[in-house]
Amino acid sequence: MTDELPALDRALAEPRHLLVLSEEVGPEEVEALAVSHFDDAGWLGPSTLRLTGEVQLTGPWRVDDRVRAALDLPHWAATAMLLRCPVQRGASVPPELRGLGGLLDAFPEGEPVGLERRVLDHLLAQARRLAGALRVSGTGTVLVPDPASAVDLTVHTTVWLQPAACGRVLAPVLPGVQALDVPQAPIPPADRLRADISPHRARAVAALDDGERAWLHAEADALDAAVLAQPQVVDGYAHLAPVPGGTLEVLVAGDEHTPVVLRGLPWARGGVISYEVRWRPDEPGLALGPRPPLALRRRREEVRALVERVAAVLHAVVGGEVVDDDAFLVALPQT
């Protein structure tokens, strides 16, 4: 209950950055997202969450009506976490880069750099994921990122699909999908492959009908045998498909580094194969801005649903984990 939390003091809050949350969001959710981005994140005490090094969030603090009005916070603001972080600023923001929204607009006299920028980018990502807000010190700007603006998804796995095989997987959900004119892409080293992906497939295909499920299992079983006989080199390729108002890209590549969010998973310790599902709208400034027109918001929601379906079909075949563009784990909705 927020009534039991200590009240946020305006004098304490004004000179610091604040992660602002609704009543439905608890501190354990903030911790889970922090651990996704920082190796040393964790609680130092009942109300002190370390992000990294000496950077800490304190709270949660209760936001009352008086402080909400004084700090110009959203009407739904119920709690806030206060950031303790060294101030690191660069040069003033050029006029041509102002008015685009985000952190640059909040710091026109000198944008955050170094550790402060890294931490503020993380808190802005938290605000997007948790439907919260970020109030920055100095200008007092309140940034409220749209959760629906996170459209793209990436499937991280250790299973490699050859371009033709990937195209066959995508074709049922992406009519008109075509491969770019790239050389045939070999697979990664065999010690980074998991041939048995049936446990991952089983979770992802549970909602599919019997025909789709049988096809996916047969396709993946054939691929498991085929990939092990290929040259042991990492390369990449891409597939494109037209969608209303833009293009959907599926970019496939290997990376010898383990994403931080996957560092606790044994299968990812040797690196990953990434299947990035990205929307390239014809009007990116309008479609992806903080307040796109209603028609473009509806189009974005349609594409977002398609991106989820494409990621789900890939995940059904290759397994692994799905993350959003802020590198947070995503549980795809069941269909």
Q: Please write the tens of the pLDDT for every residue from 17-34.
A: 999 999 999 999 999 999
Domain boundaries, the chain: 2-145, 153-324
Low-confidence ranges of the chain (pLDDT < 50): 184-187, 189-205, 227-234, 286-287
Peptide bond into 60 cis (omega under 30): yes
Rounded distance, CA 271 to CA 178, Å? 27
What is the predicted pLDDT for the residue at 1? 62
What is the predicted pLDDT for the residue at 66? 95
Task: List C-alpha distances in Å: 255 to 250, 302, 317, 326.
Answer: 16, 30, 19, 18
What is the predicted pLDDT for the residue at 69? 96
- Which candidate, 275, 205, 199, places its Cα nearest to that of 236? 275
What is the predicted pLDDT for the residue at 10? 94
The strand pairing partners of 83, in sequence order, are 57
Query: Which tokens hold the place of 52?
Result: 């990294």
- Which candidate, 223, 215, 235, places its Cα nearest to that of 194? 223
What is the predicted pLDDT for the residue at 233? 42
What is the predicted pLDDT for the residue at 228? 47
What is the predicted pLDDT for the residue at 150? 84
∠ Cα 104 78 134 (to 5°): 10
What is the predicted pLDDT for the residue at 292? 61
Q: Please write the tens of the pLDDT for every residue from 126-184.
A: 999 999 999 999 889 999 998 888 899 999 999 999 999 999 999 999 988 999 865 54
